[in-house]
Amino acid sequence: MVERGHGRVINVVSSAGKHRWPNVSGYSVSKAAAIKLGENLAPELAGTGVSVLNYHPGLVDLGLTRRQLEAGKTGDRHVDGVGAWMADQRDGGRFTTPEDSSEMLVRLVTGEADALSGSYLTPEDDLSRLLGG
């Protein structure tokens, strides 16, 4: 990408990397590392035409999230704790629709947010406002 003079890296991250989440340390720390990687790569790549964005797609009722919610009680207090937290988030209306999540991802992939290189973005962010528009 640097040789071509353009491109973008989009790290798929999670709010788990921004907040303490005991009993899910491996997941939380790996997401924190991805966020820090993006934050550090962005200034290193400044002026090369390559942007780096950290994208948290939100909790979406698909894939692993859905399987976790459908699993019910497993007897493992850590797994059950994550499942209970997810159910609470869903029941509280804090899930992101697949459409909202994918719409923001398309905007990032197509370069709309390249000027925000190094940022942590979510579907709830107002790109126009963040870009000064």
H, E, C per residue of 77-111: HHHHHHHHHHHHHHHCCCCCCHHHHHHHHHHHHCC
Determine which helix (DSSP H) or strand (DSSP E) holds 73, and give its type and residue range. Answer: none
Do 54 and 65 lie in a common domain?
no
- Whether 122 maps to a domain, the answer reads no
**Residue 109 counted as domain residue:** yes
Q: 121 in a domain, yes or no?
A: no
Interval 78-119: pLDDT, tens: 888 889 999 999 999 999 999 999 999 999 999 999 999 999
Per-residue pLDDT, 26: 93
Of 131, 99, 129, 91, the closest CA to residue 114 belongs to 131
Say what the pLDDT of residue 79 is: 85
81 and 106 belong to one structural domain: no
| Domain around 65 | 59-95
Number of domains in the chain: 2
The answer to whether residue 123 sits within a structural domain is no
pLDDT digits (tens, 9 = 90+) for 42-81: 999 999 999 999 999 999 999 988 988 888 888 988 888 8
First to last CA, the chain: 28
Q: Residues 1, 20: one domain?
A: yes
For residue 127, tell me if it sits in a domain. no
Does 83 reside within a domain?
yes
Whether residue 47 is found in the same domain as residue 106: yes
Contact 7, 49 (CB under 8 A): yes
Q: Are residues 54 and 9 in the same domain?
A: yes
* pTM to 2 decimal places: 0.91
Same domain flag for 91 and 102? no
Tell me what pLDDT residue 20 has: 86
> In whole angstroms, how far apart are CA 109 and each of 34, 76, 114?
18, 38, 9
Same domain for 28 and 43, yes or no, is yes
